[in-house]
Amino acid sequence: MRRALVTLSHPDHAGMLRALRVLVDAAPAHGWEMRIVLAAPHPNVAAAGLPPAIVSYLAGLRGWRRLANRLTLPATILRLARMARDADVLYACTLSTFPHSLFAGRLARRPQVTHVYSSYEEPGPYRKHLLAHARHVIAPSADSLALAERALGGFAPGTRTHVAYNGMDVAWLERQAAAPIPAGFEPNGRPRIGMVGNLDARKDPGLLVAAAAAIREAVPDVEVLLVGSFRDPAYEAAVRGRIGALGLERAVRVTGFLPNPFPVVRTLDVLAHAAHRDPFPLALLEGMALARPIVATAVGGIPEMLVDGESGVLVPPADPAALAAAIVPLLRDPAARARIGAAGHERLVHRFSLAGFARTMFGAFELARSDGAA
């Protein structure tokens, strides 16, 4: 049995933890087992169903560029190297822990694999996280991989790259969605649009708020749910300020963090995704699993997920008028919503399976292992 030692600095990232759970469950069938190192405990770890016996914690994984953590960085790397002695591969789930895996892997003479989930607009973050030194790179979409390669001016000769489209456990998601709807968010007869995820500037809920003003002119009783929570108080204030300025206080609601958002997602007439960059959003896979009709910006890996006009509707980024113009006809046409939702569900089942995701991931681990320490 081969072993992958996984590092993740953001234990609050529910989607990432669910992806790890997929790998943990699939590992034995591929001849692997997983050990996971997180920066800190978090309720999402238990919610994702990760077995406590395979999870450990290393505080220095988070914020390594801050001065205080730089002072402890050597000790963090040494401890991680000791943990890697019985591993075949070190797997950094995101770029933020790749520097730790890189140096710990070199000390322990173990190969390192990094997953480039982020789609940065500038080359700086890729260089800051030492991606140029990676020899085994996984990305969630072809667009995300190409973006990283352009940022570096090309990967080093011999670097192995893989596109691993995230999969979705449709049966599990349907069970989650069948749970009781949180109080206050039950269907109320009003047309309902929603976006799901971390409410940050990259996901751009402010764009959906701006579109809501135009949507309400055509569909006066529309309701918009921002399903998630804000991390940045300044950005939250800006979005709430826009809601007030547009007179949308009764039309737009923020749910806050929901341990199980899927019963609310199931109530949406349209799932909107207004991001101005996103490598391969799990929120859209989840919407496809629940056959929700999706209107999304054509950025990052989203055009690889959805076929415009067939399994979703794609619009230009940073264009609230275009977003509104795509949503209004769907709100008025239940048959179109059903058709697009069903097509999205079908595409998910055939193109983005859990088995395909796991097969690509463990194939990458096997190649890294056979290549030896980089």
Tokens of 356: 């395909």
* Angstrom distance (rounded) from CA 252 to CA 250: 6
pTM of the model: 0.88
Specify the length of the chain in residues: 374
Kindly give the interhelix angle for 205-218 and 320-332, rounded to the nearest 10 degrees: 50
Q: How confident is the model at residue 372 (pLDDT cuts 50, 70, 90)?
A: confident
DSSP assignment string, 241-279: HHHHHTT-TTTEEE----S--HHHHTT-SEEEE--S--S
Alpha-carbon gap, residue 81 to 85, rounded angstroms: 7
Q: Which fold has domain 170-351?
A: Rossmann fold (3.40.50)
The Cα 75–Cα 56 span in angstroms is 16
Residue 121: the pLDDT is 78
pLDDT surpassing 50 at residue 55: yes
- In CATH, the architecture of 2-167+353-371 is 3-Layer(aba) Sandwich (3.40)
SS3 state of residue 332? helix
Instruction: Using pLDDT thresholds of 50, 70 and 90, give the confidence band for residue 374.
Output: very low
Domains 2-167+353-371 and 170-351 share a fold: yes
CA distance 197 to 282: 9
Largest CA distance in the chain: 63
Mean pLDDT, rounded, for 280-306: 96
Locate 354 and state its tokens.
Answer: 């859990």
Domain residue ranges of the chain, discontinuous segments joined by +: 2-167+353-371, 170-351
Spatial contact of 83 and 65, defined as CB atoms under 8 Å apart: no
Q: Tell me how far apart the alpha carbons of residues 113 and 32 are, in angstroms, rounded to a whole number.
A: 15
Taking a C-beta distance cutoff of 8 angstroms, is the pair 171, 154 a contact?
Answer: no
Give the per-residue SS3 of 275-301. CCCCCCCHHHHHHHHCCCCEEEECCCC
Summarize pLDDT for 193-205 with one digit per residue, the tens: 999 988 999 999 9
Q: Which residues touch 354 (CB under 8 Å, ≥6 apart)?
A: 22, 26, 167, 168, 169
Q: Is the pLDDT of residue 259 over 90?
A: no
